Chain A
Amino acid sequence: MNVSSERKMKFRTGNQMIAEGAVASGCRFFAGYPITPASGIYKSMIELLQQRGDVAVSAPDEISALAYCVGASMRGYKAMTATSGPGWALMIETVQYALMTETPLVIAMVQRLGPCTGGATQGAQGDILLTEYCTSGGYTIPVLCASTAAECFELTQIAFSWAEQLRTPVVILSDKEVGMTSESVDYNKLHTHSLFNRVYASPQQNGKKWKTYNFENRWDVPAFADVGGVQKVTITGSAHNKEGALKKNDTETLEVLLHLEEKIQHGRDELSIVKYDEQKDAAILVISFGITARTMSEAVRSARKKGKKVSSMNIISLFPVPEKAIMNAIKNVTKVIIAEENLTGQYRSVIAPLLKGKEIIGVNKVGAMITPNEIEVHCV
């Protein structure tokens, strides 16, 4: 919703806007360990939360940082951490813990060049698969990907809402270029999203025994009760029944494991966000995300000026994959170009099964940004 037609310009990085988006979402706890190119979020959260009397903690490492956030969220506070690929690698066990314990969390992941510690100040989009497929069992982690500073603000709010609604960790993904580049942001054009706050369990159970993870349908999200509240909460990162008691392969425990995925999949169409720029009669569709989506826009603009008919799609919700939106966009095209700043075409490998019968072109690069021309040459 636009609040004014007047411009209110500020010079902001994507990292700053993620921090501002988090505060606008009601985030009251941040724990982090500094890492380029995500340190701007760490710095901004310390400044912003302190001003509000909330808590920002410098953790001794990334593992502790995320564990602190889990603890804060279990107490009922919206919590976020921020990191880059090497820190994410350390956090993976605790990301799984949050998923297994149905703990709402937002993790800002600002990608840099890998593998390993790679290049701290070199951009990349090489952590797509590492981010999504970090769980044993391949459970879906919702991932939102921003390509501008303004999107960083808007998508962070959506990330918090999804985390609260689904009781699960959600990743807001960006990259070094989006995170660290300052650009003009018109605050009066920022979209503010209605926030979803976790649903608390009623202390009255109508005679039914209280269960930490109670659900009727497999896709239902259990009502939340905080550690320290009136209901006794039983939490474990190991396989558990609805009471939260550690169990092996009994029927109810397996039901809980299926529920963890089905609660995401059931409403996946509502988690679909793309920016589709359709051109009538186009036989070519370019797909990209993050900073490369901006390169894509430039390439498509240039190709159209030369009379080419090209559509484009900036995929915001990378996961769950917005299958219906992609299937709709490819109906009348013969060629799909997928541009991403990584070596092997990570997202291309994910969506290729949807593109049967289409000519698929991957535009990939490591160590430098993809140029508009490198996309445009395929728009023929």
Chain B
Amino acid sequence: MSELPSPATFLAEQCSMPFCKGCGHSHILRKLNDALVQLHLQPEDVCIVSDIGCIGLADALFAVPHTVHTTHGRSTGFAT
């Protein structure tokens, strides 16, 4: 593990979730961020690979790690 301090958050500053009220995406992405922080990962060791649909908006929210927004149903293929 790198000696550099890992980020306190992987989200953009003043991150505002763009999802509809009641949508679970906001919770999932915040918990994903919590998990990344707890794992003490370096930014270059993380790539968030997203799919088509509103979850694809995740790239704009995660300002710190690499992000790859892919095609419908194929995020695992690109990430393999």
Query: How many angstroms between the C-alpha atoms of A63 and B68 in the bound complex?
Result: 17
Question: Are A68 and B59 closer than 8 Å at their CB atoms?
Answer: no
Question: Are B65 and A64 closer than 8 Å at their CB atoms?
Answer: no
Question: Are A67 and B47 closer than 8 Å at their CB atoms?
Answer: no
B78 within 8 A of A: yes
Question: Are A236 and B77 closer than 8 Å at their CB atoms?
Answer: no
Closest B-chain residue to A101, C-beta based?
Answer: B68
Question: Are B80 and A229 closer than 8 Å at their CB atoms?
Answer: no
Closest B-chain residue to A59, C-beta based?
Answer: B77
For B56, B60, B68, the residue with the greatest tally of chain A CB atoms inside 10 Å of its CB is B68
Among the listed B56, B63, B74, which residue makes an inter-chain contact with A236, where contact means beta carbons less than 8 Å apart?
Answer: B56
Q: Which residues of B, 26-70, contact A by the 8 Å Cβ criterion?
A: 43-45, 47, 56-57, 59-60, 63-70
Query: How many angstroms between the C-alpha atoms of A187 and B43 in the bound complex?
Result: 47
Query: How many angstroms between the C-alpha atoms of A145 and B47 in the bound complex?
Result: 37
Question: Are B56 and A246 closer than 8 Å at their CB atoms?
Answer: yes
A94 within 8 A of B: yes
Q: Which residues of A, 212-255, contact B by the 8 Å Cβ criterion?
A: 227-230, 232-238, 244-246
Please give the distance in Å from B18's CB to the nearest CB on chain A: 11
Closest B-chain residue to A226, C-beta based?
Answer: B66
Closest B-chain residue to A247, C-beta based?
Answer: B60
B74 — which chain A residues lie within 8 A by C-beta? 63-64, 67, 94
Among the listed A59, A63, A235, A238, which residue makes an inter-chain contact with B67, where contact means beta carbons less than 8 Å apart?
Answer: A235
A236 — which chain B residues lie within 8 A by C-beta? 56, 59, 67-69
Question: Are B80 and A228 closer than 8 Å at their CB atoms?
Answer: no
Query: How many angstroms between the C-alpha atoms of A229 and B69 in the bound complex?
Result: 17
Please give the distance in Å from B53's CB to the nearest CB on chain A: 12
In the complex with contacts A235-B68, A237-B69, A230-B78 CB distance below 8 A: no
Interface string of A242-284 (1 = CB under 8 A from B): 0011100000000000000000000000000000000000000
* A contacts with B: majority SS: mixed
Q: Which residues of A, 66-111, contact B by the 8 Å Cβ criterion?
A: 67-68, 70-71, 74, 93-94, 97
Query: How many angstroms between the C-alpha atoms of A64 and B75 in the bound complex?
Result: 10
Question: Are A235 and B69 closer than 8 Å at their CB atoms?
Answer: yes
Question: Are B66 and A246 closer than 8 Å at their CB atoms?
Answer: no
A67 — which chain B residues lie within 8 A by C-beta? 70-71, 74, 77-78, 80
Please give the distance in Å from B51's CB to the nearest CB on chain A: 11
Question: Are A228 and B60 closer than 8 Å at their CB atoms?
Answer: no
Please give the distance in Å from B50's CB to the nearest CB on chain A: 9
Query: How many angstroms between the C-alpha atoms of A235 and B68 in the bound complex?
Result: 5
Question: Are A97 and B79 closer than 8 Å at their CB atoms?
Answer: no
Query: How many angstroms between the C-alpha atoms of A235 and B60 in the bound complex?
Result: 10
Among the listed A70, A93, A228, which residue makes an inter-chain contact with B44, where contact means beta carbons less than 8 Å apart?
Answer: A228
Question: Are B80 and A71 closer than 8 Å at their CB atoms?
Answer: yes
In the complex with contacts A63-B74, A74-B68, A229-B44, A68-B60 CB distance below 8 A: no
Query: How many angstroms between the C-alpha atoms of A68 and B43 in the bound complex?
Result: 22
A71 — which chain B residues lie within 8 A by C-beta? 77-80
Closest A-chain residue to B64, C-beta based?
Answer: A232
B64 — which chain A residues lie within 8 A by C-beta? 232
Query: How many angstroms between the C-alpha atoms of A229 and B79 in the bound complex?
Result: 15
Query: How many angstroms between the C-alpha atoms of A63 and B78 in the bound complex?
Result: 10
Please give the distance in Å from A245's CB to the nearest CB on chain B: 6
A227 — which chain B residues lie within 8 A by C-beta? 47, 66, 68
For A70, A94, A235, the residue with the greatest tally of chain B CB atoms inside 10 Å of its CB is A235
B44 — which chain A residues lie within 8 A by C-beta? 228-230, 232
Please give the distance in Å from B45's CB to the nearest CB on chain A: 7
Question: Are B70 and A246 closer than 8 Å at their CB atoms?
Answer: no
Question: Are B71 and A97 closer than 8 Å at their CB atoms?
Answer: yes
Shortest 9 CB-CB contacts between residues of A and residues of B: A67-B77, A236-B69, A64-B77, A235-B68, A71-B78, A233-B66, A227-B66, A67-B78, A67-B74
B→A interface (CB under 8 Å)? 43-45, 47, 56-57, 59-60, 63-71, 74, 77-80
A→B interface (CB under 8 Å)? 57, 59, 63-64, 67-68, 70-71, 74, 93-94, 97, 227-230, 232-238, 244-246
